[in-house]
Structure 1
Amino acid sequence: MTVAELPLAALQQLLQLYGLALHLLEPHTEIPGSYWGDAEAGIIGRSIYIRPDTPIHSFLHETCHVICMDEARRQQLHTDAGGETTEEDAVCYLQILLADQLPEFGQARALVDMDRWGYTFRLGSAESWFAEDAEDARLWLIQHGLIDTHNQVLFKLRT
């Protein structure tokens, strides 16, 4: 599912909860801060860059990188989020949780789109990983104050 298939207001509202900025670019425009290039979302500082053909899972993933990094890295952020493996796993976990903030998208679609894009997990699918093998990612998010013990998103940036 792409950005063009959802109301732009839903994406903007999600980012506003975190104090992040959304930049919608014209079709076929190069996306600043895009690690993967093509239609994949870009990140620079507290800004997320997308085009109408940007996949929603990419928008969520890059947004979650900005949320999960500390402020020192966020201030220097341009394209490559960096971070440790545990943080990357937490980014994936949080993007699945945040998918429900986009009612037209949701967790089930996020999991399918992650698999279609090529995310790789030990258990063979995003759904299996999320349900059976992601406790370390969940605990990381709890320890950094990004979700509570009931998996409720707290809409705060990591400090």
Structure 2
Amino acid sequence: MVLHPPGSQAAAPAQGHTLHRCIPERLTALRALLARFGIDLRLHPFDAPLPGSYWGDAEAGIVGHTLHVRPDTPVHSALHEACHLVCMDRYRRAAVHTDAGGDDLEEAAVCRLQILLADHLPGVGRDALMADMDAWGYSFRLGSTRAWFLRDSEDADAWLRTHDLVDATGAVTFRLRGAP
């Protein structure tokens, strides 16, 4: 899985596709969703540098238990970085700044979880988020985020279940990995 095209700081969305962004009307729901995990959401002014942003520009950043966004931050980026915080073990979470680390399977679990969490954001949902992920440049071996999610993410689902981040039905448990 490739998250952004090689050689670019941050991919640009496909021409003609309008991404769902962290606009003020969406922040209350996003903040409430992340609070269920104990993740703080910090909004920065448009064009301000985002602390902890791995990709730079408008891409979300993570520092400790805080997710940093701007009004032009894509929702998929905010959910992706938040899901890194959910999926990493407590030791990495306590020290994280910018680079979430983890292995390929954890990265796949992060992608699956961000899609599941999109259903908890009014006006977004999994279909829109998967379209945003495709438009931004996420790349899966079956050709689209939807195909991967529906037919090739069993290992990611198993990983999420093993760490009690989703239940037996695949529903989000709103727990952090390793939390009591």
Q: TM-score, normalised by structure 1?
A: 0.98
Equivalences, count: 159
Match of 2:31 in 1: 12
Alignment partner of 1:65 out of 58, 69, 84:
84
Match of 2:127 in 1: 108
- Alignment deviations for residues 99-154 of structure 1 (CA, whole Å, 9 cap, x no partner): 00102100000100000110110100000000000000000000000001211100
Superposed displacement of residue 6, structure 1: 3.9
Between the aligned partners of 1:20 and 1:55, the Cα distance in structure 2 is: 18
Counterpart residue type for residue 115 of structure 1: D
Please state if 1:142 is matched with 2:169: no
Instruction: Report the structure, 1 or 2, having the larger helix content.
Output: 1
Superposed displacement of residue 155, structure 1: 0.2
* Structure 1 gap segments, 5+ residues each: none
Counterpart residue type for residue 143 of structure 1: T
CA contact (8 A) 1:142 1:148 kept: yes
Q: TM-score, normalised by structure 2?
A: 0.87
Match of 2:41 in 1: 22
- Alignment deviations for residues 48-93 of structure 1 (CA, whole Å, 9 cap, x no partner): 0000000000000000000000000001100000000000000000
Identity %: 53
Q: For 1:39-50, what aligned pairs fall within 5 Å after superposition?
A: 39-50=58-69
Between the aligned partners of 2:93 and 2:24, the Cα distance in structure 1 is: 29
* Structure 2 gap segments, 5+ residues each: 1-19
Task: Give the match's secondary structure for 1:97.
Answer: helix
Would you identify which runs of 4 or more consecutive aligned residues in structure 1 move more than 4 Å? none
Superposed displacement of residue 5, structure 1: 6.4
Counterpart residue type for residue 37 of structure 1: G
**Distance change in 2, residues 1:53/1:155 (3 Å):** same
Please state if 1:97 is matched with 2:109: no
Please state if 1:157 is matched with 2:163: no
Higher RCO by CA contacts (8 Å cutoff, separation 6 or greater): 2
Between the aligned partners of 2:25 and 2:33, the Cα distance in structure 1 is: 13
